[in-house]
Structure 1
């Protein structure tokens, strides 16, 4: 396998179109109509200006993580790498980038959600040493019914 030369940098608002295109290219990717819109992502990046990351190869975004915190705990969303660039350490490097950015802001713990149907993602996180929590239940409540999730086929 040949080495892929990539760079990591903080995600910017101007990256939205390329990041959205990446999201749309990934089979089974879940995206919300409002939260993942340009306006929603811009709002997220303004609240968390230094913790999200993109991986770039030849000026093309091939990986991305939305990452932020509430002052107590960090959370990663939409961790993804273009299928043709997987298995080169990009996902791990992006996760480390985000974790370091969170640590610089005084955050001591980070979490993420992986759909049960995402076998590849779940294996990735377990292999990376993340702890699968069996001691809690996850709940959410929809405040805006228009913010629906759809999955790429």
Structure 2
């Protein structure tokens, strides 16, 4: 497995991965232009995992994996005080191999290098697998705050 900084050239593979991931909700802001803007605003904070070549799936079935095939993503940014993590996704054929844990580690280290020591993320209430994963990584559920959002315009899918 090879881990590297995400670039806009990863967009097509990333959007395909996110589209098949039940726990990722895509919005208009996840357009190619939106993701490019995000990556430029937050350089070096988002990562991908890609295959290095032929290997085995978690089930042990031999498969012809293609070098460079994207199998994991994580995106992060910050506002100067707090980090925000989103779009952690690993292909269903490569889960439970430590890929998500490594992506989170890379992301948090990059945020730490920017002086960001506390980060937040949002999880859909029905995504119990994500809740278990993040709890296992040491993230704390916050019941003491509420999230409010404001849409500045007519498009409520931004």
| Both structures adopt the same fold (TM-score exceeding 0.5) | yes
Report if aligned partners of 1:32, 1:147 keep a CA contact under 8 Å in 2: no
Match of residue 121 from structure 1: 130
Q: What CA deviation, in whole Å up to 9, does each residue of 1:57-88 have, x standing for no partner?
A: 12011010111111111001111111111100
Pair 1:130 & 2:130 matched: no
Match of residue 42 from structure 2: 48
Match of residue 149 from structure 2: 140
**What root-mean-square deviation, in Å, do the aligned CA atoms of Structure 1 and Structure 2 show?**
1.2
The whole-number CA distance in structure 2 between the counterparts of 1:82 and 1:37 is 20
The whole-number CA distance in structure 2 between the counterparts of 1:68 and 1:93 is 17
The whole-number CA distance in structure 2 between the counterparts of 1:134 and 1:87 is 28
Work out which structure has the larger RCO, using CA pairs closer than 8 Å and 6 or more positions apart in sequence.
1
The whole-number CA distance in structure 2 between the counterparts of 1:65 and 1:141 is 25
Which ranges in structure 2 are unaligned for 5 or more consecutive residues? Answer: 52-66
TM-score computed with the length of structure 1 as normaliser? 0.89
Q: What CA deviation, in whole Å up to 9, does each residue of 1:6-36 have, x standing for no partner?
A: 1111001111111011111223531001x10
The whole-number CA distance in structure 2 between the counterparts of 1:28 and 1:10 is 22
Q: 1:24 aligns with which of 7, 19, 25?
A: 19
Report if aligned partners of 2:23, 2:130 keep a CA contact under 8 Å in 1: no
Residue correspondences, number? 143
Match of residue 56 from structure 2: none
Match of residue 3 from structure 1: none
Return closer, same or farther for 1:103/1:37 CA change in 2, 3 Å cut-off. same
The whole-number CA distance in structure 2 between the counterparts of 1:147 and 1:10 is 30
Q: 2:76 aligns with which of 63, 67, 70?
A: 67
Task: Give the greater-gyration-radius structure (CA).
Answer: 2
The whole-number CA distance in structure 2 between the counterparts of 1:97 and 1:29 is 20
Which ranges in structure 1 are unaligned for 5 or more consecutive residues? Answer: 1-5
Match of residue 8 from structure 1: 3
